[in-house]
C-alpha cells in the first residue's frame, strides 16, 4: 500500500503540477485540501488521518491536533513562519518539521514596496473614488529619501532595506537578535525607531503584540505604517483610533488578528487591506511548493 501524505494548502500545484508530481513519482499517494479555504483543526485531523507527511499552510497545528495524527512523521511548511506549529509537541512525538524560509523573501519584500508606493500616492483611494464617479486629484508623497524604520531585520526585512536603499531612503532597524550595523544599517531601540521614522514597516516572525496605543502614539505625526508579518503584532483598535484621528497618515496591512478580516479598519479611506498575500507571486509560490515537496521527501528519506 502506498504511503499517504496530505496537502492542506488550497492552491498547491495550481500553477505548476511539478511539486505534486515529484511526490507521486516517489510512490506517495497525495490527498489535497477539498474545501478551497483554510481548514480547521477538526478538518485537518480527518483529512490527514493515516498520513505520514503533511505539507502545511498557516492552519493551526497545535498539540491536540498533532497528537490526533499518530502516523505523522514529517510536517513540511510551505512558507517561512512556524508559529502555527507546536514545535515542542512535534519534537516529543518525533515529527520532523521543515519550512521554506528563502522562497517567499522577494515576494513579500516586493509587496511591501508596492504597498508603500500605493499608500504614499493614494492610488487605491483614488481608484475607488473614480469608480464611484468622483474625479479628485489627491496630493501624495514621494518615497524617495524617506526615513524608514524596519521592525524585524531577518531575511525579508533586509531585502526590503536593500530595495529601499535604491530609492535613497534612510534606513534603521529594530531587532534584538541582530547586531548593530549589519549590512551597513543602524540599529535603534523600538521607541527611538518609532519617533524617528517617516515610515514603519514590520517584518517580525513573532505573534507577540508590539504596537499598541502607547507605541502608536509615539510614532512621528503624519507617519505611515506597513504590516506584512503577523496580525497580532499591531493592536487593530488602537490603529483605527490613530488613523481616524488623523495622527497617522495611513497604513497598509496584509495580516490581521482574525482572518478573513471583517473589522473596523475597512471603514477608513487611508488604509490599504490585502488578504494575507505576501508570498502570492506565481514564481515565488512555485519555488516554495517545490521546496516544500523536496523537504517532505527528505524527511521521509525518499530523496
Q: Are strands 199-202 and 224-227 parallel, antiparallel or unpaired?
A: parallel
Q: How far apart are CA 250 and CA 281, in angstroms?
A: 25
- Catalytic residue, chosen from 67, 121, 129, 276, is 276
**Strand 199-202's sheet: what is its strand order?**
186-187, 170-174, 147-151, 199-202, 224-227, 250-253, 271-273
Q: Which residues pair with 6 in a beta bridge?
A: 31, 54
Q: How far apart are CA 274 and CA 119, in angstroms?
A: 12
Q: Which residues pair with 107 in a beta bridge?
A: none
Phi, psi of 241 (to 5 degrees): -65, -40
Q: How far apart are CA 115 and CA 94, in angstroms?
A: 41
Q: How far apart are CA 86 and CA 76, in angstroms?
A: 13
276 is catalytic: yes
Q: How far apart are CA 229 and CA 8, in angstroms?
A: 21
DSSP-based three-state secondary structure for 215 = helix
- Catalytic residue, chosen from 46, 145, 162, 259, is 259
Q: How far apart are CA 41 and CA 59, in angstroms?
A: 7
46 is catalytic: no
Task: For residue 293, give Cα distances in angstroms to 86, 103, 160, 286.
Answer: 21, 13, 27, 11
Which three three-digit cell numbers place residue 13? 500545484
259 is catalytic: yes
- Catalytic residue, chosen from 230, 285, 289, 291, is 230
Other C-beta atoms closer than 10 Å to the C-beta of 148 total 26
Residues classed as catalytic: 230, 259, 276
Amino acid at each position: 500500500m502506498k504511503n499517504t501524505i496530505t496537502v492542506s494548502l488550497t492552491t498547491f500545484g495550481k500553477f505548476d503540477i511539478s511539486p505534486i508530481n515529484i511526490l507521486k513519482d516517489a510512490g506517495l499517494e497525495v490527498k489535497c485540501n477539498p474545501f478551497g479555504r483554510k481548514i480547521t483543526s477538526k478538518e485537518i485531523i480527518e483529512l490527514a488521518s493515516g498520513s505520514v507527511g503533511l505539507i502545511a499552510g498557516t492552519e493551526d497545528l497545535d498539540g491536540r491536533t498533532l497528537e490526533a495524527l499518530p502516523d505523522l512523521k514529517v510536517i513540511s511548511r510551505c512558507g517561512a513562519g512556524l508559529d502555527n506549529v507546536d514545535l515542542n509537541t512535534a519534537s516529543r512525538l518525533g515529527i520532523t518539521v521543515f519550512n521554506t524560509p528563502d522562497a517567499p523573501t522577494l515576494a513579500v519584500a516586493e509587496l511591501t514596496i508596492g504597498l508603500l508606493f500605493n499608500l504614499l500616492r493614494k492610488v487605491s483611494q483614488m481608484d475607488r473614488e473614480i469608480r464611484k464617479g468622483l474625479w479628485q486629484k489627491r496630493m501624495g508623497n514621494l518615497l524617495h529619501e524617506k526615513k524608514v524604520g524596519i521592525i524585524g531585520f531577518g531575511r525579508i526585512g533586509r531585502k526590503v532595506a536593500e530595495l529601499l536603499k535604491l530609492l535613497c531612503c534612510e534606513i534603521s532597524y529594530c531587532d534584538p537578535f541582530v547586531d548593530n550595523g549589519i549590512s551597513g544599517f543602524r540599529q535603534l531601540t523600538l521607541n527611538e525607531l518609532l519617533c524617528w521614522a517617516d515610515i514603519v514597516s514590520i517584518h517580525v516572525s513573532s505573534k507577540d503584540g508590539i504596537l499598541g496605543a502607547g507605541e502608536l502614539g509615539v510614532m512621528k505625526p503624519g507617519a505611515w505604517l506597513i504590516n506584512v508579518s503577523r496580525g497580532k503584532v499591531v493592536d487593530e483598535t488602537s490603529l483605527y483610533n490613530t488613523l481616524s484621528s488623523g495622527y497617522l497618515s495611513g497604513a497598509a496591512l496584509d495580516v490581521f488578528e482574525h482572518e478573513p478580516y471583517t473589522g473596523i479598519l475597512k471603514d477608513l479611506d487611508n488604509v490599504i487591506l490585502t488578504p494575507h498575500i505576501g508570498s502570492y507571486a506565481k514564481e515565488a509560490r512555485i519555488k516554495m511548493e517545490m521546496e516544500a515537496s523536496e523537504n517532505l521527501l527528505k524527511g521521509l528519506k525518499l530523496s
